[in-house]
Amino acid sequence: MTSEKAEGYELRLEGLLDAPRAKVWRCWTEPRLLEQWFAPQSWTTEVKILEPRPGGTSHIVMRGPNGEESDGVGVFLEAAPERRLVFTNAFAPGWIPSAQPAVVPFMTTIVEMSDEGGKTRHVVRALHWTEEARKQHEEMGFYEGWRQTTGQLEALARTL
């Protein structure tokens, strides 16, 4: 990723991926592909449910090398094929408000993709309820983690 920005309630990472948008979209929306890139290298990802449509469920479990586990449940708010994904952990399936997660603050994630000369302009925005929550997420390693996983996303998309 080439550019990062944090202000107010938002963390943002933007870059140009050397892969076609259709393949990047597949990596975001196909469970077996998402499992291959959506965690730091020393971690694993298990997709339990991935329904990229408005109201669809997202349930992803990430496991660390020392037994750490991050169990993320949320819903998709928007899914515009090959253009935009919007999801949040503020709601559980059925639009039930989530309990405040112990580690990750509530957020809405917006992923935007557009064509740029056979490559994909890829923008990830994490919107938080408070500036404090944004700072907490940033200190947890938002930029480092997303730079690494986005590199893995690009590498996988190029092989499809």
- Percent of the chain surpassing pLDDT 90: 76
Q: Does residue 85 contact residue 111 with C-beta atoms inside 8 Å?
A: yes
Q: Which amino acid is at 86?
A: V
Would you place residue 77 in the very low, low, confident or very high pLDDT band (cuts 50, 70, 90)?
A: very high
At 72, phi and psi to the nearest 5?
A: -105, 120
Would you place residue 8 in the very low, low, confident or very high pLDDT band (cuts 50, 70, 90)?
A: confident
Question: Among residues 49, 30, 63, 142, which one has the least CA distance to residue 92?
Answer: 49
Structure tokens at 91: 């709601």
Would you place residue 87 in the very low, low, confident or very high pLDDT band (cuts 50, 70, 90)?
A: very high
Is 80 exceeded by the pLDDT of residue 101? no
Question: Among residues 72, 76, 84, which one has the least CA distance to residue 47?
Answer: 72
Q: Residue 103's pLDDT is what?
A: 60
Would you place residue 106 in the very low, low, confident or very high pLDDT band (cuts 50, 70, 90)?
A: confident
Task: Spell out the domain ranges in the chain.
Answer: 3-159
CA distance 91 to 76: 9
**Average pLDDT over the chain, rounded to an integer:** 92
**CA distances for 71 relative to 32, 63, 159, angstroms:** 17, 9, 28
At 53, phi and psi to the nearest 5?
A: -155, 155
Q: Residue 7's pLDDT is what?
A: 74
Q: Any idea which fold 3-159 has? A: Alpha-D-Glucose-1,6-Bisphosphate; Chain A, domain 4 (3.30.530)
CA distance 157 to 160: 5
Question: Among residues 69, 42, 152, 149, which one has the least CA distance to residue 59?
Answer: 69
CA distance 121 to 101: 31
79 or 141, higher pLDDT: 79
Q: What is the per-residue pLDDT across 19-70, written as a single tens digit (0 to 9) for each?
A: 999 999 999 999 999 999 999 889 999 999 999 999 999 999 999 999 999 8
Question: Is the alpha carbon torsion for 8, 9, 10, 11 positive or negative?
Answer: positive
Predicted structure pTM score: 0.92
